[in-house]
């Protein structure tokens, strides 16, 4: 990875961390889930409102922790807003890591994927309740 | 099109520009020349909205929109660009961060990083800038040529409708100047940018060919013509146009 790309992706992560998109809590959420990384203390909560086609009509994340965990969660909410739940479930871990754009050490991968994990957990809980 | 109508500009109560009218059309290059202290930079600053330069009468229109009262950032968003004669160093702000912030300020939604990256790489290659440039602080420790390249890089990223280039050739060696000229020409070709190029030297105008040449003296437009004007200045100086020595002309900083 060249120095220019790395620089920009780093700045992009810091931008998401300092100016998070979709931060907060959705009212009357259909999906609500939270999780943390016990080792480093990162916390993420995601709340989602669905429309009648099971598309994500509104999504917010809340939490605290390192820049990677918070930025990745914020990017994830932007990426999946407007998507169908069925399609959200198809998203691979690698796609989430690609959004960050910089190589991560194994311990930081957990941070980067926390939001993704919360979303997975939220969808699972929502679907098992429906049944 | 940028229309400057009967512009009068004062600095600290002193009138510098007097009844200047000028049009720069889309896809047109206008060269602005003139002795030191004639008001060239004053015009550039007044166009961009520098608070020290008070417009006492006249209007500035960009594509028919009156920008006379706008703040500099609004003017920039409307499509006006100024390349500074003396770019300021901003330690702590990286070139890449600055560029991205500037580009995104013009857009409703931020440009995705991969798209931005591809674009900035293309423009940096055009301007023969090393990739390490982007991680340096804006103009901090830049050489004269690097500063001017950085100005043109900003122009290339912002794709303005009208660009005012204030002595972009000064402080550059001949190779840097050619590269800069190529950058200017490419921006014009790609985005049909209208360009007002302020310079003292014929050399840059051999690479960035002006459609018209304007001489400003004592804050007024004195001469308007074509290439022959440039040759005349080069040969005989401004005296050829009945413009005296302006030793005593007040230099405006």
Structural domains in chain A (count): 1
Over residues B157-182, the pLDDT tens digits come to 999 999 999 999 998 999 999 999 99
Q: Count of alpha carbons within 13 Å of B162, Cβ hemisphere only?
A: 24
Among chain B residues, the shortest Cα distance to A15 is held by B97
* Residue B248 pLDDT exceeds 50: no
Tokens matching residue A75: 């990017």
Residue with tokens 């304007």, as numbered in its chain: B214
Residue A33: give its domain's CATH number.
3.90.1010.10
* Per-10-residue mean pLDDT, chain A, length 131: 86 94 96 94 97 96 97 96 96 95 93 97 93 69
Taking the C-alpha atoms of residue A5 and residue A118, their distance in angstroms, rounded to an integer, is: 29
Tokens matching residue B185: 């020409």
**A9-45 b/e (C-beta count within 10 Å ≥ 16 → b):** bbbbbebbbeebbbeeebeebbbbbebbbeeeebbbb
Name the helix (H) or strand (E) containing A119: helix A106-130
> Domain residue spans in chain B?
1-87+161-175+194-253, 88-141
Q: Is A17 on the interface with B (CB under 8 A)?
A: no
Residue with tokens 């105008």, as numbered in its chain: B205
Dihedral of CA atoms B79, B83, B84, B86 in degrees, nearest 10, equals 160
Among chain A residues, the shortest Cα distance to B131 is held by A4
Nearest to B49 by CA among B36, B62, B37: B62
Q: Is A5 on the interface with B (CB under 8 A)?
A: yes
Q: Which of B96, B124, B132 sits opposite A8 (nearest CB)?
A: B96
DSSP chain B: -EEEEEEEEEETTEEEEEEEEEEE-TT-EEEEE--TTSSHHHHHHHHHT-TTEEEEEEEEEETTEE-TT--HHHHHHHTEEEE-SSPPPEEEEEHHHHHHHHHHHTSSSPPPHHHHHHHHHHHHHHTT--GGGGGSEETTT--HHHHHHHHHHHHHHH--SEEEEESTTTT--HHHHHHHHHHHHHHHHHH--EEEEE-S-HHHHHHS--SEEEEEETTEEEEEESHHHHHHHHHH-GGGGT----TTSPPP-
Size of interface A-B (CB pairs under 8 A): 35
The reported pLDDT for the residue numbered B238 is 85
Beta-carbon separation of B134 and A101 below 8 A: no
Nearest to A100 by CA among A79, A128, A124: A79
pTM assigned to the model = 0.84
Strand B212-217, strand B220-225: pairing: antiparallel
Interface test with A, best of B101, B108, B112, B114 (most A CBs within 10 A): B114
Contact between residue B194 and residue B25 where contact means Cβ atoms under 8 Å apart: yes
How does residue B245 score in pLDDT terms, banded at 50, 70 and 90?
A: low
The reported pLDDT for the residue numbered B240 is 80
Average of per-residue pLDDT values in chain B = 92
Beta-carbon separation of A8 and B132 below 8 A: no
Taking the C-alpha atoms of residue B218 and residue B216, their distance in angstroms, rounded to an integer, is: 7
Asked casually if ipTM beats, i.e. exceeds, 0.85, the reply is no
The reported pLDDT for the residue numbered B37 is 87
Q: Is A127 on the interface with B (CB under 8 A)?
A: no
Task: Name residues whose C-beta falls within 8 Å of residue B13's C-beta, 6 or more positions apart in sequence.
Answer: none
Q: Is B122 on the interface with A (CB under 8 A)?
A: no
Q: Is A11 on the interface with B (CB under 8 A)?
A: yes
Domain containing A11 equals: 3-130
Among chain A residues, the shortest Cα distance to B114 is held by A5
Q: Which CATH class is domain B1-87+161-175+194-253?
A: alpha beta
Q: Which of B94, B114, B124 sits opposite A7 (nearest CB)?
A: B94
């Amino acid at each position: 990875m060249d120095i220019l790309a790395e620089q920009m992706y780093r700045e992009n992560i810091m931008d998401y961390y300092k100016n998070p998109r979709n931060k907060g809590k959705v009212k009357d959420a259909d999906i609500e889930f939270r999780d943390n990384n016990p080792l480093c203390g990162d916390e993420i909560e995601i709340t989602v409102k669905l429309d009648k086609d099971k598309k994500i009509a509104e999504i917010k994340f809340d939490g605290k922790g390192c820049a990677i965990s918070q930025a990745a969660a914020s990017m994830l909410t932007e990426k999946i807003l407007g998507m169908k739940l069925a399609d959200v479930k198809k998203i691979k871990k690698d796609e989430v890591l690609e959004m960050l754009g910089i190589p991560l050490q194994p311990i930081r991968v957990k941070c980067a994927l926390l939001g993704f994990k919360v979303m997975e957990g939220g969808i699972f809980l929502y679907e098992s309740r429906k049944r | 099109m940028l229309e400057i109508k009967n512009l009068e500009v004062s600095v600290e109560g002193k009138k510098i520009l007097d009844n200047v009218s000028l049009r720069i059309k889309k896809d047109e290059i206008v060269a602005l020349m003139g002795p030191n202290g004639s008001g060239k930079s004053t015009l550039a600053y007044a166009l961009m909205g520098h608070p020290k330069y008070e417009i006492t009468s006249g209007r500035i229109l960009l594509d028919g929109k009156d920008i006379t009262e706008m703040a500099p950032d609004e003017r920039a968003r409307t499509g006006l660009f100024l390349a500074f004669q003396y770019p300021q160093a901003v330690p702590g702000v990286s070139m890449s961060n600055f560029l991205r912030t500037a580009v995104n300020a013009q857009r409703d939604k931020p440009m995705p990083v991969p798209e931005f990256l591809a674009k900035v790489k293309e423009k940096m290659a055009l301007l023969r800038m090393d990739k390490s440039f982007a991680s340096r602080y804006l103009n901090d420790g830049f050489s004269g040529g690097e500063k001017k390249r950085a100005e043109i890089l900003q122009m290339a990223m912002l794709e303005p409708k009208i660009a005012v280039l204030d002595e972009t050739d000064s402080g550059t060696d001949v190779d840097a100047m050619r590269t800069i000229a190529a950058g200017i020409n490419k921006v014009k070709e790609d985005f049909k940018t209208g360009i007002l190029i302020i310079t003292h030297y014929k050399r840059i105008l051999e690479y960035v060919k002006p459609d018209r040449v304007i001489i400003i003296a004592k804050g007024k437009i004195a001469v308007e013509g074509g290439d022959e004007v440039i040759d005349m200045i080069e040969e005989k100086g401004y005296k050829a146009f009945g413009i005296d020595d302006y030793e005593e002309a007040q230099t405006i900083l």
